Structure 1
Amino acid sequence: MTSTFSTSEIDRLRAMTPGTRHRVHLNNAGAALMTTGVLSTVVDHLNLEAEIGGYEAKAREADRIEGVYRSVARLLNADPGEIALAENATVAWQWAFYAQRFAAGDRILTTTAEYAANYLSYLQIAKRTGAVIEVIPDDAEGRLDPKALEAMIDERVRLISITWVPTNGGLVNPAAEVGRIANAHRIPYLLDACQAVGQLPVDVARLGCDMLAATGRKFLRGPRGTGFLYMKRAFLERTEPAMIDMYGATWVGGDRYDLRQDARRFETWESNYAAKLGLGAAIEEALAIGIPRIEKRVKTLAGSLRAMLADVPGVTVHDLGPDPAAIVTFTLAGLDAATAAARLTERAINVSVSAPSSTPVDGERRHLPSLVRASPHYYNTENEIERLVETVRSIT
């Protein structure tokens, strides 16, 4: 398999993506366009439920549903028993975080670019327990500084929890370096990989994370309402979920219950199996194309977009890091981000707005306004990138 995409391959991939026929979709960091294969997988299972019943459909498709766990495991270089499927990444992340135990004085170390939902959870736990939140300093290029992290380690550090690729700015934090430090000091390490999966290779063994949470709807091109949690087997065996039901545990009589032996101890009995199957289909499609190939193409498209935007008068690109991911954020002089995004939408170009409240520490430190966020995927074309830039030029 070659590392580059031929014109015929892009044409084939776009033919499998109905949304490309009438829009330029550059909001893949929000929700990417599903393929016809993913869509038919979801719809087929819903039709089956309608025809024979929900329980019966689940029983008939049990082997395929089990295959979704294997697909996630292949994507992450993990064991299927280390995977739990969730209705979104926030739930998956919360399963991991709220299963940890904190006491007064315990330290939670996080990153400047941490996602707001995660930070709110830190604040809640700090309020409940007296734990403290500390932000790891950045290096000169805006990434989390591993040397600064190393200097912060002491016996009170209870958790290192970071976002690998933030929701804005293209930054890629050195997640594997964080894992090396966390493992050396035997500190639990939780990695938010929402914006990484699907556009970057993800190998949990190399990353050294004990827990990883991600979504299906972004660069994996899965359905909305899907996500997953990875928890390392050795860590899983000593971790009890904050909440359980009769899927994750079994009542064995009296005041005793047994937890499942796999990561599905975090799951609940009721589930959207159609969406799960769609997630599995999306992952298999990404693996068939090749994640390293996807990474190379999306970074190339994003790099071209940054370079062209930098030449547009009145446009400022706000991205960080020496090798940014496929998330490009920018502002237009005299035009707020919401208005700019609306004008692009009128011209059938999908982007999104990244508010500073979505990364509150980074937003405050860099004094960021709301940003226009464009996030290309492998099915986007160079012509679409040029079309976005020319449209931005016309509305400034």
Structure 2
Amino acid sequence: MDIDALRQDTPGTANRVHLNNAGAGLLSRRTLAAMTSHLELEAAVGGYEAAAQERDRINATRANIARLVGGQADEIALFDNSTHAWNAAFYSMRFKPGDRILTGRAEYGSSVLAYLQTAQRTGAEVVVVPDDESGQLDTTTLANLIDGRTKLVGVSHVPTSGGLINPAAEIGRITRAAGIPFLLDATQSVGQFPVDVDEIGCDLLTATGRKFLRGPRGTGFLWVRPEALEYLDPCVTEIEAATWDGKRGFTWHDGARRFETWEVSYSNVLGLSEAVQQALELGMDEIGRRAIFLGAYLRDRLEALPGVTTYDLGRNRCAIVTAKVDAVPTADVASTLTKQGINVTTTVAEHTQFDTEHRGVHPLVRLSPHYYNTEAELDRAVEVMAELARTAG
């Protein structure tokens, strides 16, 4: 990987140390060009006409995403964000009193709210699978909890609040053996390291474009295993999803397209397609090695600082690093880093409810490097946090 060339292709690296890739990655010049050129085309010829002119490139987006996750183009549905993609999958399932939804402590806040709403509406039960001694989802307990009442296992691959990588493939092995649908939220993993739906064994996968894929905001997608279409009843029906039969009925479109809506930002779609193509060209194995190395590099140096504590869980950890500086409010740590030109964010207790119930450690400073970051940039962040710890001590 030519890091210097990648940074030259990433305008944002010239004036910031961007350690907020778990929030939104920096766009490359080629992704930006794909988006702006389509906007210019819309301005020149009209929005509908531009879409018709670029139809082949737009349609190639699904094929590019399918290559990225190991699926087929007709198994991909495009959305304006990952939460809408996740909702489209989850709310297409039907639950009744006594049904059980199994999830983990690392589940994302919006998904937790959807589980709770569905439990209130239907009488289904939400069961939080405990972690093992490392802090990842306990797969032995998961297997023991699955019974005839279990209708869904929904898990975040990587939480928004730390470096944990949940054992998705082992979860998939358990759910496939039991015949239970497995919905994987891969929002923080797709683009950060290789994710293959067949190796994992999930039935539904959702992800965003704006984080480690380095695509534009306002993009996301859903992957659907073809067999899952038999038990999914999309919660929204419109002209992109179904065809009127000429009377008083309709038929769903083939594949995952039945989950899409007609109106979409095609400049964003083309930007996402370009970002995915760039990831494929660089190679997800190489991207994953670099990102996880940088995460470990940063975590090790923070752990070595007196007065600084890291909070990442699990046997396997990724490029998301969470920490606190003793006696310094988390918001002040983040503000100081920002003033030094270092982009970070903080975890939110309400966005990781089950983890908050268990640990109560939030808010934390969240630093998330990606492959185009340098060790020198990470050292700068460590120096700022070290000075804060020394001053507070």
Q: TM-score, normalising length from structure 2?
A: 0.98
- Alpha-carbon shift at residue 350 of structure 1 (Å): 0.3
Structure 1 unmatched ranges of 5 or more: none
- Alpha-carbon shift at residue 362 of structure 1 (Å): 0.8
- Please tell me whether the aligned partners of residues 93 and 231 of structure 2 are also in contact (alpha carbons under 8 angstroms): no
SS at match of 2:245: strand
Tell me if 1:209 matches 2:238: no
Partner of 1:262: 255
Superposition map of 1:212-291 within 5 A: 212-291=205-284
- Alpha-carbon shift at residue 238 of structure 1 (Å): 4.0
Tell me if 1:28 matches 2:28: no
Q: Distance in 1 between matches of 2:334 and 2:265?
A: 33
Superposition map of 1:64-143 within 5 A: 64-143=57-136
Partner deviation per Cα, 1:107-134 (whole Å, 9 max, x = no partner)? 0000011111000000000010000000
Partner of 2:164: 171
- Please tell me whether the aligned partners of residues 78 and 260 of structure 2 are also in contact (alpha carbons under 8 angstroms): yes
SS at match of 1:386: helix
One-letter amino acid matched to 1:145: D
- Please tell me whether the aligned partners of residues 315 and 333 of structure 1 are also in contact (alpha carbons under 8 angstroms): yes
Partner deviation per Cα, 1:131-154 (whole Å, 9 max, x = no partner)? 000011211100111111110011
One-letter amino acid matched to 2:265: N
- Please tell me whether the aligned partners of residues 17 and 342 of structure 2 are also in contact (alpha carbons under 8 angstroms): yes
Partner of 1:370: 363
Q: Distance in 2 between matches of 1:323 and 1:237?
A: 34
- Alpha-carbon shift at residue 254 of structure 1 (Å): 2.4
Partner deviation per Cα, 1:142-167 (whole Å, 9 max, x = no partner)? 01111111100110001000000001
- Alpha-carbon shift at residue 47 of structure 1 (Å): 0.7
One-letter amino acid matched to 1:11: D
Q: Of 39, 50, 54, which residue of structure 2 is paired with 1:46?
A: 39
Higher mean alpha-carbon deviation, 232-241 vs 279-288, is at: 232-241
Q: Distance in 1 between matches of 2:388 and 2:30?
A: 37
Higher mean alpha-carbon deviation, 93-102 vs 237-246, is at: 237-246
- Alpha-carbon shift at residue 240 of structure 1 (Å): 2.2
In percent, how many aligned pairs have the same letter?
50
SS at match of 2:333: helix
- Please tell me whether the aligned partners of residues 155 and 183 of structure 2 are also in contact (alpha carbons under 8 angstroms): yes
One-letter amino acid matched to 1:352: T
- Alpha-carbon shift at residue 237 of structure 1 (Å): 4.2
Partner deviation per Cα, 1:276-304 (whole Å, 9 max, x = no partner)? 01000000101111111111111111111
Q: Distance in 1 between matches of 2:326 and 2:335?
A: 16
Q: Distance in 2 between matches of 1:159 and 1:310?
A: 38
Number of residue pairs aligned between Structure 1 and Structure 2: 389
Partner of 1:305: 298
Q: Distance in 2 between matches of 1:163 and 1:226?
A: 19
Partner of 1:18: 11
Tell me if 1:161 matches 2:154: yes
- Alpha-carbon shift at residue 323 of structure 1 (Å): 1.9
Partner deviation per Cα, 1:27-57 (whole Å, 9 max, x = no partner)? 0000010000000101110110010000000
Partner of 1:37: 30
Q: TM-score, normalising length from structure 1?
A: 0.97
- Please tell me whether the aligned partners of residues 112 and 137 of structure 1 are also in contact (alpha carbons under 8 angstroms): yes
Q: Distance in 2 between matches of 1:139 and 1:37?
A: 43
One-letter amino acid matched to 1:122: Y
Partner deviation per Cα, 1:161-216 (whole Å, 9 max, x = no partner)? 00000012200001111111111111111000000001121110111111000000
SS at match of 1:133: strand
Partner of 1:329: 322
SS at match of 1:395: helix
Higher mean alpha-carbon deviation, 127-136 vs 332-341, is at: 332-341
- Please tell me whether the aligned partners of residues 325 and 388 of structure 2 are also in contact (alpha carbons under 8 angstroms): no
Tell me if 1:342 matches 2:335: yes
Tell me if 1:395 matches 2:378: no
Partner of 1:181: 174
- Alpha-carbon shift at residue 257 of structure 1 (Å): 0.3
- Please tell me whether the aligned partners of residues 193 and 291 of structure 2 are also in contact (alpha carbons under 8 angstroms): no
Structure 2 unmatched ranges of 5 or more: none
SS at match of 2:113: helix
One-letter amino acid matched to 1:224: R
SS at match of 1:93: helix
- Please tell me whether the aligned partners of residues 353 and 370 of structure 1 are also in contact (alpha carbons under 8 angstroms): yes
SS at match of 2:384: helix
- Alpha-carbon shift at residue 262 of structure 1 (Å): 1.7
Q: Distance in 2 between matches of 1:333 and 1:392?
A: 10
Q: Distance in 2 between matches of 1:156 and 1:255?
A: 36
One-letter amino acid matched to 1:231: V
Partner of 2:183: 190
One-letter amino acid matched to 1:225: G
